């Protein structure tokens, strides 16, 4: 018994050399291993002297055709008693890197089997394979093995087990696989009546939908509430029961052809619609679907992504379904059966319940193809928890995001993982979901709390900030809201050192000076931090952040600075009493806060154009204004001058009020307002870039969800040499804040003083 180490140099990698070595060693009954090293192939052999000699001879005599051996170095080493010959990978690890795949839509192969009568999984609603199916929504903990998924309660039968064990099979180690004889199934519950069996329950569901009923359907990351989208009475009933007055409903079209009939699909939109994340895509509506998206000229449509969806359409469900997250207004999506049955009993007529548990709630993602590329409005199913980018840091960082449209981000081993959409933390159930998501992500990736750097918003009263104080951590720091917005765009691109002009226009965020920011311009980079150099002219905001719900409240604060206004309580303005009450607050300085928020400027304009009621969801007035402007084709723009430090809204609002009182159509006034904002901003961007020798401007913040504003900015700025960067991976709204916080934290660019210091 002896042993040797052989180093082979030449063209020996990527030419089938290791399998050749493997077979040769086995043929000569030798133990040991072979691996690709930095300089060539390294072989260790143990066995009889004679066999080692034969091995070396044959290695040089008949190597694989493409191999060119230039040098062989054989050295004797002492044997350690190896009992087998193996191929070692040079980068072998203890376990795969701890990345969890986002959920995947059913693949072509599985779809074919789903509708093939000869297949074992014919019409089985949980069919999946290595290339498709649930991932993030079934993983309980790592490593990703069946016993660590929600499929652990269903042992594989012989058929499935064979496929699971066969390396050449599409289902080799596909953790969630099952078939009708060994796996979970669906059943339909209507009151106390239960229809069992996959086929009968799915057929009955399709019949109920055709009959105009509302059915709660369990999907990948939670329940959907479904009804026939073209049945106006059903859609109306769903709105009433869900307490969702006006916010658009998502639709699911049976096929791409059906989708093409209801929305205008550009090639870019179509690419998004059929992409592996299968998101909801927002596009211009081609047909009117009453009640689906009141007051909007756009619809949000997705394609079927689970086998169950395909089966439902195949057995006759209406070709366009409303598929909205199963919750009551502003609550998180229901994902546990008992919770769904309890919370939705007054909303859904029936429940199509799947037996496979959902590990965590994940909503559908929402995207659009925009002027500057894809815009993610809600990053969730199909994207989360995929790594967004990598940071050059080893320190684990947890960024808690903002309170609205919350997401959290975890940086582990330099990989940046952004959570699914969690929601508005002001809602108790969402706050609970936020706590769960933090625990879930940190434990899943095995991060030590004692090493964790926790980053939160600067706002001292944010629920996320308050929660940060109670978490174990090595350090806790804050990052200002709008700097995080700007950083999120650069982080997506891995641009740490790029010096840019960052524009952050959004509804609200806590500023360095404690006032409400939202119309900010910065110069700097992630590495050096961002310095505020300009902003929207300040206004008073009676009621503070609560004013977001009442555009008239914002109008009261902004318009008090505008001279020569017509009487706003009479037609066509007809402002309610609240307007004067609020102006009284402002003039007396009671409960009035200083703001530079661009979102509130849009609210003030919306109020002047007729949106004088309360908004029923966040950002509604601004969306309403955009829709209004879209239907006009005027080319003028109101003045929005920039003096080097401030964008002055007074001429802008004065002209809105003046034209409106003269009887100009609201659509045209809205258009001229929007174009005015774009031109004023573009002029400010150009001037500041030139003055600071910057060639790139970054746009982020909720206001930049306004596609018309982006189109106008594009048409003004395209003649300049400026590059304009926007978000593509994370939302421009507060869903992107966690990524920006993490990026600035990775480079130590925190706020200059912590909240604790400021309040000490």
> Under the rule (CB under 8 A), what is the footprint of another protein?
14-19, 22, 66, 86-87, 89, 91-93, 95-97, 99, 101, 104-105, 107, 130-132, 135, 143, 167-168, 170, 172-173, 276, 387
Given the complex with another protein, which of 35 and 330 has the nearer CB atom? Answer: 35
Residue 554 half-sphere exposure toward CB, CA atoms < 13 A? 34
User: Which residues, listed in sequence order, are joined to residue 223 by a DSSP beta bridge?
Assistant: 218
State the nearest-atom distance from the C-beta of 92 to another protein, in Å. 6
State the nearest-atom distance from the C-beta of 15 to another protein, in Å. 8
State the nearest-atom distance from the C-beta of 276 to another protein, in Å. 4
State the nearest-atom distance from the C-beta of 245 to another protein, in Å. 37
State the nearest-atom distance from the C-beta of 144 to another protein, in Å. 9
State the nearest-atom distance from the C-beta of 95 to another protein, in Å. 6
State the nearest-atom distance from the C-beta of 129 to another protein, in Å. 10
Given the complex with another protein, which of 33 and 638 has the nearer CB atom? Answer: 33
DSSP string, 100-145: PPPPBPPPHHHHHHHT-TTSTTTT-TT--BTTBB-STTTB-SSS--
Given the complex with another protein, which of 173 and 728 has the nearer CB atom? Answer: 173
Cα distances (angstroms) measured from residue 463 to each of 64, 399, 426, 595, 617:
64, 14, 7, 21, 19
Distance CA 160, CA 158 (A): 6
3-state SS, 196-243, equals: CCHHHHHHHHHHHHHCCCCEEEECCCCEEEEEECCCHHHHHHHHHHHC
Given the complex with another protein, which of 20 and 249 has the nearer CB atom? Answer: 20
Given the complex with another protein, which of 68 and 570 has the nearer CB atom? Answer: 68
Pull the structure tokens for residue 43. 């072989």
Residue with tokens 């200059």: 752
State the nearest-atom distance from the C-beta of 203 to another protein, in Å. 30
Given the complex with another protein, which of 86 and 152 has the nearer CB atom? Answer: 86
Q: Counting every residue, how long is the chain?
A: 760
State the nearest-atom distance from the C-beta of 170 to another protein, in Å. 7
Distance CA 557, CA 535 (A): 17
H-state helical runs in 631-736 = 650-661, 666-691, 707-717
Torsion, Cα of 59, 61, 62, 63 (10° steps): 50
Given the complex with another protein, which of 275 and 561 has the nearer CB atom? Answer: 275
Q: Is 470 exposed, middle or buried (0-12, 13-18, 19+ CB in 10 A)?
A: exposed
Residue 68 half-sphere exposure toward CB, CA atoms < 13 A? 2
Given the complex with another protein, which of 132 and 259 has the nearer CB atom? Answer: 132
Distance CA 496, CA 748 (A): 12
Given the complex with another protein, which of 21 and 484 has the nearer CB atom? Answer: 21
Pull the structure tokens for residue 424. 């508005």
Given the complex with another protein, which of 387 and 565 has the nearer CB atom? Answer: 387
State the nearest-atom distance from the C-beta of 173 to another protein, in Å. 5
Distance CA 2, CA 660 (A): 96
Q: Describe the chain by its helix, strand, coil percentages, rounded to 5.
A: 35, 25, 45
Given the complex with another protein, which of 101 and 469 has the nearer CB atom? Answer: 101
What is the rounded end-to-end Cα distance, in angstroms, of the chain? 75
Given the complex with another protein, which of 389 and 620 has the nearer CB atom? Answer: 389
Residue with tokens 């997401």: 407
Pull the structure tokens for residue 7. 């180093």
3-state secondary structure of 700: strand
State the nearest-atom distance from the C-beta of 97 to another protein, in Å. 6
The H-or-E segment that residue 629 falls in is: helix 620-630
Given the complex with another protein, which of 170 and 578 has the nearer CB atom? Answer: 170
Cα distances (angstroms) measured from residue 598 to each of 375, 490, 699, 740:
20, 22, 13, 20
State the nearest-atom distance from the C-beta of 301 to another protein, in Å. 20
Given the complex with another protein, which of 271 and 613 has the nearer CB atom? Answer: 271
State the nearest-atom distance from the C-beta of 5 to another protein, in Å. 21
Cα–Cα nearest to 254, from 305, 198, 324: 305
CB 184 within 8 A of CB 126: yes
A 10 A CB-CB count for 443 gives 12
Order the strands of the 280-284 sheet from edge to edge.
193-195, 186-190, 350-354, 215-218, 223-228, 320-325, 250-253, 298-302, 280-284, 366-370, 373-378
State the nearest-atom distance from the C-beta of 138 to another protein, in Å. 14
Q: How far is CA 633 from the centre of its chain?
A: 34
State the nearest-atom distance from the C-beta of 135 to another protein, in Å. 8
Sequence-separated (6 or more) residues with CB below 8 Å from residue 752: 512
Pull the structure tokens for residue 84. 């087998």
Cα distances (angstroms) measured from residue 539 to each of 558, 594, 647:
5, 6, 12
Given the complex with another protein, which of 275 and 371 has the nearer CB atom? Answer: 275
State the nearest-atom distance from the C-beta of 131 to another protein, in Å. 6
Q: What are the φ/ψ torsions at residue 308 (nearest 5 degrees)? A: -60, -45
The H-or-E segment that residue 9 falls in is: strand 2-11
């Amino acid at each position: 018994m002896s042993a040797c180490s052989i180093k082979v140099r030449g063209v020996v990698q990527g030419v089938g050399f290791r399998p050749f070595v493997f077979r040769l060693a086995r043929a000569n009954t030798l133990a040991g291993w072979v691996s690709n090293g930095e300089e060539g192939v390294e072989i260790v052999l143990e066995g009889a002297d004679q066999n080692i000699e034969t091995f070396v001879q044959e290695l040089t005599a008949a190597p694989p055709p493409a191999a060119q051996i230039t040098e062989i170095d054989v050295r004797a080493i002492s044997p350690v008693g190896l009992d087998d010959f193996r191929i070692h990978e040079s980068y072998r690890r203890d376990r795969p890197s701890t990345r969890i795949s986002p959920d995947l839509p059913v693949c072509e192969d599985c779809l074919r089997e789903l509708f093939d009568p000869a297949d074992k999984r014919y019409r089985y609603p949980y069919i999946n394979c290595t290339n498709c199916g649930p991932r993030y929504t079934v993983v309980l903990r790592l490593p990703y093995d069946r016993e660590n998924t929600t499929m652990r309660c269903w042992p594989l039968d012989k058929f499935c087990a064979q496929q699971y064990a066969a390396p050449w099979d599409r289902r080799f180690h596909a953790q969630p696989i099952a078939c009708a004889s060994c796996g979970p199934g669906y059943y339909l519950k209507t009151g106390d009546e239960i229809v069992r069996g996959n086929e009968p329950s799915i057929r009955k569901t399709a019949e109920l939908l055709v009959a105009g009923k509302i059915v709660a359907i369990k999907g990948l990351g939670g329940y959907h509430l479904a009804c026939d989208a073209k049945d106006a009475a059903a859609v109306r009933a769903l709105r009433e029961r869900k307490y969702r007055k006006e916010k658009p409903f998502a639709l699911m079209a049976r096929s791409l052809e059906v989708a093409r009939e209801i929305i205008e699909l550009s090639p870019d939109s179509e690419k998004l619609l059929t992409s592996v994340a299968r998101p909801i895509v927002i596009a211009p509506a081609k047909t009117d679907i009453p009640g689906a998206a009141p007051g909007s000229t756009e619809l949000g449509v997705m394609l079927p992504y689970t086998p169950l969806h395909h089966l439902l359409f195949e057995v006759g469900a209406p070709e366009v379904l409303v598929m909205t997250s199963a919750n009551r207004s502003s609550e998180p999506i229901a994902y546990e059966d008992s919770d769904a049955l309890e919370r939705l009993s007054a909303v859904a007529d029936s429940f199509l319940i799947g037996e496979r548990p959902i590990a965590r709630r994940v909503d559908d993602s929402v995207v659009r193809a925009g002027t500057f590329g894809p815009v993610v409005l809600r990053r969730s199913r199909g994207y989360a928890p995929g790594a967004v980018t990598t940071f050059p840091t080893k320190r684990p960082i947890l960024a808690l995001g903002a309170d609205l449209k919350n997401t959290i981000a975890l940086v582990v081993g330099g990989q940046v993982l952004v959570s699914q959409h969690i929601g508005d933390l002001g809602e108790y159930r969402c706050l609970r979901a936020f706590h769960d998501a933090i625990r879930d992500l940190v434990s899943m990736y095995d991060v030590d709390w004692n090493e964790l750097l926790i980053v939160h918003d600067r706002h001292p009263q944010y629920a996320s900030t308050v929660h940060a104080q109670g978490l174990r951590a090595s350090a806790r720091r804050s990052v200002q809201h709008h700097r995080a917005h700007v950083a999120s765009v650069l982080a997506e691109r891995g641009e740490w050192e790029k010096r840019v002009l960052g524009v952050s226009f959004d509804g609200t965020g806590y500023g360095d000076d404690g006032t409400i920011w939202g119309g900010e311009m910065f110069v700097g980079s992630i590495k050096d931090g961002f310095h505020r150099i300009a902003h929207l002219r300040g206004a008073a905001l009676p009621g503070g952040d609560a004013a977001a719900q009442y555009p008239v409240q914002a109008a009261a604060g902004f318009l008090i600075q505008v001279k020569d206004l017509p009487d706003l309580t009479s037609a066509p303005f007809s402002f309610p009493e609240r307007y004067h009450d609020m102006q009284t607050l402002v003039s007396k300085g009671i409960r009035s806060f200083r703001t530079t928020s661009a979102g509130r400027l849009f609210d003030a304009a919306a109020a002047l154009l007729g949106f004088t009621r309360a908004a029923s969801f966040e950002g509604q007035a601004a969306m309403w204004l955009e829709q209004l402007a879209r239907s006009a084709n005027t080319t003028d723009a109101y003045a929005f001058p920039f003096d080097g430090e401030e964008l002055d809204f007074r001429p802008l609002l004065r002209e809105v009020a003046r034209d409106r009182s003269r009887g100009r159509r609201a659509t045209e006034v809205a258009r001229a307002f929007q174009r005015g904002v774009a031109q004023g901003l573009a002029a400010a961007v150009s001037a500041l870039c030139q003055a600071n020798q910057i060639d790139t401007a970054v746009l982020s913040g909720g206001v930049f969800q306004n596609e018309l504003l982006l189109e106008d900015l594009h048409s003004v700025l395209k003649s300049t040499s400026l590059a304009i960067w926007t978000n593509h991976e994370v939302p421009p709204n507060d869903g992107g804040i966690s990524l920006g916080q993490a990026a600035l934290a990775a480079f130590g660019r925190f706020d200059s003083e912590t909240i604790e210091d400021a309040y000490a």
